[in-house]
Amino acid sequence: MTPHIPNGAEHEVVVTGIGLVAGQLTDPEALFDHLAEGRTLITEHPLHKEWGVPCAVSAHIDPEVRQELADAVPEEAGPLGSAGVLAWHAAAQAWQRSGLPRRLDSERGGVFLACNRMVMEPAELTALADHVDHEAGALDLDGYLERLDGTAAPDAADGLDPQRYQKVQPDSATAVLADYFGAAGVLETHADACAAGGMAIGSAYRYIRSGTLDVALAGGAESLTTLTSVTAFYGVGALAPADGRDPAQISRPFDKDRSGFVIGDGAAFLVLESRAHAEARGARILATVAGYAGVTEAVKMTSSSRDGADYAQCMRAALTDAGLAPEDIDHVNAHGTSTEANDTCEAAALHTVFGARAAHLPITGNKSAMGHSLANSGAAEAVLSVLSLQRQTLLPTLNFTEPDEVTSGLDVVTERRPARVTAVLSNSFGFGGQNCSLILAEAGGARP
């Protein structure tokens, strides 16, 4: 059992472990190297063309990798759905790297998982339709669930997983992780759209800083490169059409020819601790979480105020929380979805917050190579930000060739760049006006 640190008013929060699953890669260093070389995770999806989806590319988990991960989940960590399997591997990797014991067995540990609610796929919708009384406008949900578990009609389950309903609930994975690692003091499941990963980390940070928790496992997982999800996002105009282009060139954050985001899967986790707790057990400290802000607004379901005021408010609140000024930030890991609306808002906000310095503040859009894994994206970008601090290296933004009138004047990194990095601002801005900014700093802390 790890040492217990008494409650205090303010505890510095540090990162002691990271884990990640993306594409064919199952560790964060391999992903960092992959991206640093200017390579992408975005490829044609093996089923999207068959489905007739106009945007037939994604940053999906390789099917063989997905099966290997599913086979490797220990029995005591189940049952888990597709996103839960990814979450377990990224979380287990971060936990092992932190050097914590296999089980914390302490009420002063918690799990904070970001995962948007899974949608039903065609076979499931067809099975569900059999239990709809259209004249009465009623659904016999009990009958549907009994059919799945075979109690009503053993031969009529249509090949559907009887545990599917449990597996697709995001909080099921939260509970599994908490039980497996013995960290059930605080459990939270975040479904704050594209900001959820950052908000999960931010919430964990606040619990530790206040002295309520000593340790938190915080991150995200998403598995949405499915027919229903892709069709829905394409229907609202958010996804970039393939139009016969090279998949590697479609996601174009801040570029004038951007046309939408590319959807992705993945999982990423960080182990957070109070500095006193980490030092008491001799842990290696990778970085600090210096500041966080979560701000909501309600301008429009799929975009925020075009002048960037809402995003700027969020970034400034994170700086205030960290006790830092804009000039203390050395790098911005942008939300950068490659949609016209988001990139316009974020670029305007960066100009507002950083003024003339925006022209000399390096900005990276990881989604150019990783796609947008929604709830997971903020967690994955936080992991990459930790590695930028560790390696003093900035990752490139792919496909940025020419800005528009709003995105001009920004220093968008297009090639791997060595740089002195002491503090990184990592942004996540979600549908529905859910915005957050994290500030990650060197292991010794950000500049005073």
Q: Tens of pLDDT along 398-407?
A: 999 999 999 9
Domain boundary among 167, 197, 229: 167
Q: What is the per-residue pLDDT for 159?
A: 56
Domain encompassing residue 134: 123-167
Distances (CA, A) of 97 to 101, 298, 372: 10, 40, 26
5 is written with which tokens?
Answer: 């640190």
109 & 161 share domain = no
How large a percentage of the chain has pLDDT more than 90? 70
Q: What is the pTM of this model?
A: 0.91
pLDDT in tens, 339-392: 988 999 999 999 999 999 999 999 999 999 999 999 999 999 999 999 999 999
Domain boundary among 167, 182, 202: 167
446 lies in a domain?
A: no
Determine the Cα–Cα distance for residues 232 and 221; give it in Å rounded to an integer. 19
254 & 356 share domain = yes
338 is written with which tokens?
Answer: 């490659």
Please say if 335 is a catalytic residue. Answer: yes
- The torsion defined by the Cα of 332, 12, 103 and 85, in degrees rounded to 10, comes to -20
5 lies in a domain?
A: no
What's 388's domain CATH number? Answer: 3.40.47.10
69 & 96 share domain = yes
257 & 303 share domain = yes
Average pLDDT, integer, range 161-182 = 84
Determine the Cα–Cα distance for residues 87 and 65; give it in Å rounded to an integer. 14
Which residue(s) pair with 18 in the sheet?
Answer: 270
N-to-C CA span, the chain: 34
Please say if 4 is a catalytic residue. Answer: no
362 & 241 share domain = yes
* Per annotation, catalytic residue among 48, 190, 335, 351: 335
272 lies in a domain?
A: yes
227 & 340 share domain = yes
SS (H, E, C) 120-179: CCHHHHHHHHCCEECCCCEECHHHHHHHHHCCCCCCCCCCCCCCHHHHCCHHHHHHHHHH
How many Cβ atoms sit within 10 Å of the Cβ of residue 20? 29
Mean of per-residue pLDDT scores for the chain: 90
Determine the Cα–Cα distance for residues 260 and 251; give it in Å rounded to an integer. 7
As for how many domains the chain has, the answer is: 2
Distances (CA, A) of 31 to 16, 41, 84, 167, 369: 19, 9, 20, 28, 10
Q: What is the per-residue pLDDT for 297?
A: 79
Please say if 372 is a catalytic residue. Answer: yes
Distances (CA, A) of 138 to 121, 133, 142, 176: 20, 5, 12, 33
447: confidence class by pLDDT, cuts 50, 70, 90: low
33 lies in a domain?
A: yes
Residue 206 has pLDDT above 80, yes or no: yes
- The torsion defined by the Cα of 406, 408, 410 and 413, in degrees rounded to 10, comes to 120
447 lies in a domain?
A: no
Residue type, 370: M
Residues in the chain: 448
Q: What is the per-residue pLDDT for 153?
A: 47
271 is written with which tokens?
Answer: 């182990």
pLDDT in tens, 42-56: 999 988 878 888 788
143 & 112 share domain = no
9 lies in a domain?
A: no
361 & 420 share domain = yes
Residue 396 sits at φ, ψ, to 5 deg, of -80, 155
* Per annotation, catalytic residue among 55, 115, 194, 345: 194
294 & 371 share domain = yes
Determine the Cα–Cα distance for residues 256 and 248; give it in Å rounded to an integer. 17
Using an 8 Å Cβ cutoff, are 106 and 182 in contact? yes
Determine the Cα–Cα distance for residues 360 and 352; give it in Å rounded to an integer. 14
Q: What is the per-residue pLDDT for 9?
A: 42
Q: What is the per-residue pLDDT for 229?
A: 87
Which residue(s) pair with 287 in the sheet?
Answer: 15
Instruction: Give the 3-state secondary structure of residue 438.
Output: strand
Rg of the chain, C-alpha, whole Å? 21
**Which residue from 170, 201, 436, 404 is spatially nearest to 297, judged by alpha carbons?**
436
8 lies in a domain?
A: no
Q: What is the per-residue pLDDT for 5?
A: 41
333: left (phi over 0), alpha (psi -120 to 50) or beta: beta
Residue 209 has pLDDT above 50, yes or no: yes
Residue 101 has pLDDT above 50, yes or no: yes
* Per annotation, catalytic residue among 48, 60, 277, 372: 372
**Which residue from 260, 265, 440 is spatially nearest to 368, judged by alpha carbons?**
260
79 preceded by a cis bond (ω within 30 of 0): yes
Domain boundary among 131, 148, 167: 167
pLDDT in tens, 19-43: 999 999 999 999 999 999 999 999 9
Q: What is the per-residue pLDDT for 8?
A: 40
247 is written with which tokens?
Answer: 């998949």
37 is written with which tokens?
Answer: 């070389």
163 & 292 share domain = no
81 lies in a domain?
A: yes
pLDDT in tens, 262-281: 999 999 999 999 999 999 99
216 & 242 share domain = yes
Distances (CA, A) of 203 to 35, 73, 200, 252, 280: 28, 27, 5, 31, 23
Q: What is the per-residue pLDDT for 2?
A: 40
**Which residue from 307, 275, 306 is spatially nearest to 288, judged by alpha carbons?**
275
43 & 81 share domain = yes
Q: What is the per-residue pLDDT for 1?
A: 35
